[in-house]
Structure formats: C-alpha cells, structure tokens
Amino acid sequence: MNIVMANNNLALRGGAERVMHDETAWLRAHGHLVTLFGRVEPGSLAEIPYRELMPPLPDYSNGSVGARLRLARDVVYNRDTGSRFRAFLHAVQPDIVHFHNIYAGLTTVVVDECERANVPCVITLHDYKLVCPSYLMLRNGKPCSLCLGGKFYYCALTRCHKSSFPVSAISTVESYFNRQNGKYLKAARLIAPSRFLLSQMVAGGIPNSKLCCIPNGIDVSGIDPPRRDGGYCLYFGRLSEEKGLKTLLSAMSNAPIPLRVAGEGPATGRLKQFAAEQGLTNVRFEGHKSGQELIELLRGAAFVIVPSECYENASMSVLEAMAHGKPIVASRIGGLPEQVENGVTGLLFEPGNIKQLSDAITAMASDADSRRALGYAARQRAESRFSLDHHCRTLQQIYEEVTGYAKAGNAMRAADMIS
C-alpha cells in the first residue's frame, strides 16, 4: 500500500511525532511504501523525499502588524501549505493519507486537498483539539469542559490558551471555522488512542460513527527488562503545573525512597524552589534527558510515577515504563486507568490527593517482591495489549477498510457516469 504520513513537524518533538515515526518504521518493515509530509527546519532532514514541497516553519521574527495578521490567518487555514500538499499528492499518488497533528500548522487545508484529489484520509487524535480550542481541556491548571458541544467562545472569554487573549481568540476562530465547515469530518476515520478521549469527542458532538479506538503501541522487541533497580522512583516528562508535580513533591516529604525528576518545562524554577523550601533532600532534578541517558535512568528506577492532574490521553511515558518492566504509580484520570491496572501493573490514586500518593509510594517502595510482580505484569501487558505490532496491524486493517470503501465509491461513480 502507498501511504502518506503527515504531521505539523517531522522532527521528533513529542508523543505525536514518536507515534508517527514508530508507525512509519513498522509499515515500511512490512512492505508498505510510506512517504512523510510536514514542516521541516532549515538544514534538517536533508535526505527526505520531496523536500522541496515541504512547508517551512513559520517565521516569528517579523513583528509587524501585517506579518502577525498573516500568521493568524495561516494558523486557521494555510493556503500555501494547501498548494504544496496538492503538488505532493500529485507526485506521490498515495492510496491513503494518515494525518497526525495538523491544527495551527498544516491546517485542515490538507484534508480539503485529499477530498479534492479523491484520496481517503484518517486522522489520529493525539489530544482534545476537536472539542477544545486550546486542545488540553485545561483551564488554570485544572480540567475544563466548558467548550464541549461547540461552545468555543469560552476559550476567548477565559483566555485559557497560553493565558493570552489574542492566542485564545485565534484558537476560537479556528475551532469554529473547522466545526462549522465540517473539516475534520471529511476524514474517513478519527482514531482515538484511548476510550476516554473517544468519550470526550462524542460528548463534544463528534459522531461516534467516525470514531475508532486504537491504543498507542510500543516496540518491546529490543527491550530486555533489568533484574535489579537503583533504589529510586522516577518522574520523566514535561515539568508543568498540570502534570501534578507539586502534589508529587508534597508526597515526598516522608517518602522511604528518593525521587529523580527528569525533564524541563515552564514550572521548573517554581518546582525547584518549592522542593528547597520543603527541605526535600531526597529529590534530585536531573534536567532534560533523552536517548540512552533517559533509558539508563528508566532502567535504574524501582518504579515510575505519573501524577497528572490533566486529562492524559495515552501516555507514551507509561508505555515506556511498562516495556522496561517497571510498575507505575499513576493518577486516576483521563486515559491513564486504561493503561495502568490498579493492583496488577501498578497503583492508582486520586489526582491531587497527597496522602493517597504518599501511601502508594510507601507501599511500592516497601515491598520489593510485590514491586517485581507488578513490573512483570506491566511488561506482559505491554506485550499483549500495547505492542507496536498489535497497534499497527489494527491500523493496517483500518487502511484496508477505508481504501476498500473508497474504491467501491469510485466504481459506483464511474458506473453512474457511464449510465
């Protein structure tokens, strides 16, 4: 099958790009032709096919009013990207296009180009953008559902996107434009990585018939879980308020095990200051870690903590921990309970509940035998339910179903024209 994978950015920046590149590698290894489309940074990915047709990253250096207005327009619907993608589709002639994150970047102009070229497409929903202009369902660091049902004006009224009225207003306009013109519904399937996200889409007015749930997957084949650990618990990821890190630090005041925090983010300074004020000598901030450094840190962890206080969708951090045979202490919110089975692969606690988290940390740290059993079950669950192979085979079935429908539709239209 000839497949196009498209995302706002082709460089590995976060979970969406990780999922796309993992899917691409599996599909290529199983005989499919996969071509990438997305924005590229100057001087990067020089070997990528059709690079000359790729849209550039936006230039924010020009602060004139006209430049800002053009940027705002392009965030909603980027016609230059549309013309580039039209030429790209003509050159590649794909059977199907799989979009990942396209809002505020490629924009839904690329979905329109698929429709114009009669190429079916599917979209993976990595967050809540279709029902929430700010995409996180978050306001003032807490879960928010004000915009569900198309009430996108709340985003502008509350300035919930980056605490900025202009940014929130543009996001509001973008959401109304796409909803009222049915842009995302032109996709043959909208793929939700968690049942929780799917439920929020339905609650927000997205037809259930368009949705399907395919949990994210991880390649466990090259990961050999360590038999011993380094005697510390680990948080790794973005350091921001909604990740529940202040709750985690508060729970560490009497913890029987040290904590290592790997990552950077807007809350880094405040969290370090809070830890210092609380006298938390058992907490070490490791800074940004990636690649082999992060793998070694994860392999040495006794267990991993995911204390989020926002609606996590399908955490790749949880899957990485499971693949390495690590039990997880996670908050009972969003899609996390679908990944972590309480008492089987880890322990769940109510988000923001310091005592419950503290008790879970103590229980996990104090019973090495139980910890090993939970970790073993986590690895088994990663292999059976969250393997990349299972994920991609399900995805392949969706492709075959969608392209089958498209071919049947073409045949019917051709018959109508002949008659």
- Indicate which CATH number applies to the domain containing 47: 3.40.50.2000
Residues 151 and 11 in one domain: yes
Q: 203 with 146, same domain?
A: yes
Average pLDDT per run of 10 along the chain, which is 419 residues long? 96 89 97 95 73 86 79 93 98 98 97 98 98 95 94 96 94 97 98 98 97 96 93 96 96 97 96 97 96 96 97 95 98 98 98 98 96 97 96 97 70 49
Do 93 and 180 belong together in one domain? yes
- Both 401 and 317 in one domain: the answer is no
Q: How far is residue 253 from each of residues 64, 256, 306, 328, measured CA to CA in Å?
A: 50, 9, 17, 20
Residue 359: give the domain boundaries. Answer: 232-384
178 and 64 fall within a common domain: yes
pLDDT at position 419, please? Answer: 43
The per-residue pLDDT for 71 is: 87
Give yes or no: residues 74 and 205 share one domain.
yes
Is 307 domain-assigned?
yes
Residue 13: per-residue pLDDT? 80
Total tally of structural domains belonging to the chain: 2
Model pTM? 0.91
Instruction: Mark whether 301 and 317 lie in a shared domain.
Output: yes
* Residue 17 and residue 54 in one domain: yes
Establish if 401 belongs to a structural domain. Answer: yes
Q: In what order do the strands lie in the sheet with 259-262?
A: 283-287, 259-262, 232-236, 301-306, 328-331, 346-349
Co-location of 183 and 321 in the same domain:
no
Indicate whether 223 belongs to any domain: no
Q: Look at residue 57 in the predicted model and tell me its pLDDT.
A: 86
**Residue 372 sits in the same domain as residue 407:** no
Query: Looking only at Cα atoms, what is the longest distance across the chain?
Result: 82
Task: Determine the residue type at 290.
Answer: S
The answer to whether residue 368 sits within a structural domain is yes
How confident is the model at residue 417, as a pLDDT? 45
Let me know: does 256 contact 290? Beta carbons within 8 Å: no
Q: Is residue 205 part of a domain?
A: yes
Within this chain, do residues 210 and 331 fall inside the same structural domain, yes or no?
A: no
**Residue 58 belongs to some domain of the structure:** yes
Angle between helices 316-323 and 15-29 (to 10 degrees): 60
Is the residue at 394 inside a domain?
A: yes
Based on the domain organization, do 51 and 121 belong to the same domain?
A: yes
Task: Decide if 207 is inside a domain.
Answer: yes
